Structure 1
Amino acid sequence: MALTTGLAGGAYAADQMRVHVSPPLSIESAPYWLADELGYYKEEGIDYKSMPMATSVGVTATVAGEVEATQILGLSLRGAVQGIDMKIVMVFNRSPTFSFAARQAGTWAELKGKKIGATAITTSSTVMMRQKLQAAGVDPAKDVTFFYLGAPSSIYEALNAGTIDGGYVVVPNEFEAEKRGMKLLPYAEGVRILVGGVAVRGKFAAENPELLKRFLRATYRGLRTFHTDRAKTIPVMAKVMKIDVGLAEKVYDRWRGALSEDGHEDEAFMEAALNYEFGATVPQKAREAFDFSIVKSFKDK
């Protein structure tokens, strides 16, 4: 059955890794673009291809085998709970690296009657918006109008155009929004949720263990470079994110602590993240969706 992505079908090229990323490239995909730009994938014999797509489209493409991996963990996890063959094999974020920008509203309560831009109806960022609105006494089902625009870049364009009154933004758009006089509302501070990382089909992982190991090893090197080598990371960030070096430094310094240091998290973090997604009763399928065995093997090497 043909999918809307228009990509070639599900056969795997020997060393190819097509990876769904959410445009624009941001901190949440840093391990990917560092590993690519610094030649780590080439050293592992990986033909890496970045595939920018809207959140739900990219996850659908991964499930169908049109790409080998996705950076989106929340939707992948919820798919696994529904019986879809998805495995989360690496985590990039300890906390979200996104913000909520509003053209005029200075509080969540002031968004009543407004138009809000989000990526998709079931993404973690949208769930967080609904929770913030409810806490402010705003009914997200009745008091606001959601526009599901897919890519964060589309949300930011709509904000600038005045088509929406507020929405989810990623770096560096949050800095640009502030320069334009928009307000950043309290949103993701202190929240422990699964955002970016590596999710693949279980079938792909089982059939291509060595390819996956080489891919994860290069990606892990990208993550470690981000944490340990600011001087090497900043120019790559400026190039990939198409921003000047000064802004890249601000982005790095603000968000460095949001990324995992070793590609997986401890039991306390994982339990908090799962409780956030599912409440006190976590489905067994959610726990079974994680396999950090490969990434953990890199830590002491």
Structure 2
Amino acid sequence: MQPTSRALRRRLPAVAIACGLLAGAALQNAQAADAPGKITIMVGGITKLIYLPAKLTEQLGYFKDEGLDVELLSQPAGVDAENELLAGAVQGVVGFYDHTIDLQTKGKDVKAIAVFGQVPGEVEVVSSKSADTIKSMADVKGKTLGVTGLGSSTSFLTQYLAGQHGIASTEYTMLPVGADASFIAAIKQTRIDAGMTTEPTVSRLLQTGDAKVLVDMRTVEGTRAALGGTYPAASLYVQDAWVASHKAEATKLAHAFARTMEFIHTHSAEDIAAKMPADYQKDKALYVTALKASLPMYTADAKMPADGPATVLKVLSAFNPSVKGKHVDLARTYTNEFVSAK
């Protein structure tokens, strides 16, 4: 039976309300889709000076200037941060560029969209108690060498440096000891004879006399002597799939970091330290000293150094079983597109 005209008049307001609610919900959904959501970035040790640009960008307010809601998390080892990215738990990682090469050989498409370090910023230090027997990497046979984690960038660099002296990775032991306080403890407790770490840990160990420098990769000169070229390291890398669907956010992130690199190159170590959180600087004088030693490692514009990717591939091809003998398309491991975008 067809409804009467009176019944229709009673139903019309209800239908209009329902349509209005549906339209409102659709509008809200559209606005939510257009609004940039939170971007979570995992940093492979947020207090390390090699990754200082991440926190400094936040402190300077550059993320907010770009209209971004960025959350920075910390994971001591870069290899663990990489796993968080692949699992989709974070949108980006501030870690070593070499992960993008390693992952490509495993069928994972990841690329660096901003580069902070033109060199590793890593230093192989030797315990003062072992300094008489370890004068260079040629003397590490039978020794225990500290790295942040097995399969990490420090482990590949360690193997390469030893390999340059004809010492196979089976002739010494690599012990994962993390960074910062745990690395210092490993040196003090003589659990490692030498190890690879970064600032400010290096300066702290030198200040206390617990360690000495064996190989210094904080400068371009030192890195070229050790590795044969620049070695882009600290960078922001993301999954290709995320970039494809978030080009605007990728551009804003790259621009924020490029501004930070410019800030670093136009300010003193003291000025930069003043912008960093107080709890990062338990000893402010030491922090500034460490930062001064680290300044040469930073890029000026967040772009990839032209000769860098080939050097990294050379090192990984020598000792990373995932990369050795594999074809790698370096052009797919990084891009300057977003840093350069207007």
Q: 2:38 aligns with which of 8, 13, 16?
A: 16
Q: Distance in 2 between matches of 1:287 and 1:278?
A: 17
1:59 to partner: Cα distance: 0.3
Match of 1:122 in 2: 151
Please state how far the C-alpha of 1:251 moved relative to its aligned partner. Answer: 2.2
* TM-score after normalising by structure 1: 0.84
Equivalents in 1 of 2:169, 2:314: separation in Å?
22
Residue segments in structure 1 that go unaligned for 5+ positions in a row: 1-12
Equivalent residues, number: 285
* Residues 115 and 165, structure 1, Cα contact 8 Å, conserved in 2: yes
Whether 2:258 is the aligned partner of 1:220: answer: yes
**CA distance in structure 1 between the aligned counterparts of 2:165 and 2:328, rounded to whole angstroms:** 33
> C-alpha separation between the residues in 1 aligned to 2:189 and 2:305?
42
Contact 2:199–2:290 at 8 Å: present in 1 too?
yes
Amino acid in the other structure paired with 2:175: F
Q: Secondary structure at the match of 1:267?
A: coil
State the distance in 2 between where 1:293 and 1:239 align. Answer: 35
Question: How is 1:57-206 mapped onto 2 (pairs within 5 angstroms)?
Answer: 57-72=80-95, 73-103=97-127, 104-105=130-131, 106-107=134-135, 108-141=137-170, 143-151=171-179, 153-181=181-209, 182-188=211-217, 189-190=222-223, 191=227, 192-206=230-244
Give the residue type in structure 2 aligned to 1:22: G
Q: What amino acid is aligned across from residue 184 of structure 1 in structure 2? A: V
1:44 aligned residue: 66
Q: Secondary structure at the match of 1:83?
A: coil
Give the C-alpha shift of residue 115 in structure 1: 1.6
Which amino acid is 1:43 matched to? D
- CA gap of 1:207–1:38, structure 2 versus 1, over 3 A, is same
Distance change (3 Å), C-alpha of 1:52 and 1:293: same
Distance in 2 (CA, whole Å) between partners of 1:283 and 1:166 is 33
Task: Report the CA distance between 1:272 and its aligned residue.
Answer: 3.5
RMSD of aligned residue pairs (Cα, Å): 2.5
Matched, 1:267 2:306: yes
Deviation at 1:24, TM superposition (A): 5.0
Residue 97 (structure 1) shift: 0.9
Indicate the SS of the match to 2:169. Answer: coil
Q: Does the aligned pair in 1 maintain the 2:199–2:291 contact within 8 Å?
A: no
Please name the residue that 1:26 is paired with.
Answer: 48
CA distance in 1, matches of 2:86, 2:264: 29
Work out the CA distance in 1 between the residues paired with 2:181 and 2:110. 26
Report deviation, 1:29: 1.3
SS at match of 2:339: helix
Pick the structure with more helix per residue. Answer: 2
CA shift in 2, pair 1:276/1:146, >3 Å? closer
Amino acid at match of 2:337: S
Q: Which moved more, 1:14-23 or 1:88-97?
A: 14-23
Residues in 2 aligned to 1:36 and 1:63: alpha-carbon distance in whole angstroms:
24
* Structure 1 CA distance for aligned equivalents of residues 105 and 285 of structure 2: 43
The letter for the 1-side match of 2:88 is G
What is the rounded CA distance, in whole Å, between the counterparts of 2:189 and 2:67 in structure 1? Answer: 44
Question: Larger deviation: 120-129 or 267-276?
Answer: 267-276
| Matched residue, 1:7 | none
TM-score (norm 2): 0.75
The structural deviation recorded for 1:137 is 4.8
Q: 1:153 to 1:17 in 2, by over 3 A?
A: farther
Residue 267 to residue 194, structure 1, CA distance change in 2 (3 Å): closer
AA at the equivalent of 2:257: T
Counting aligned pairs with the same residue, the percent is 19
Moved over 6 A (4+): 279-282
Whose Rg is larger? Answer: 2
Change over 3 Å in CA distance of 1:153–1:245 after alignment to 2: closer
Q: What is the alpha-carbon distance in structure 1 between the residues aligned to residue 329 and residue 315 of structure 2?
A: 16
Q: 2:246 is matched with which residue?
A: 208
Corresponding residue to 1:234 among 273, 278, 281: 273
Residues 138 and 163 (structure 1), Cα distance of their counterparts in 2 relative to 1, 3 Å cut: same
- 1:8-28 deviations in whole A, cap 9, x for unaligned? xxxxx9331211112251222
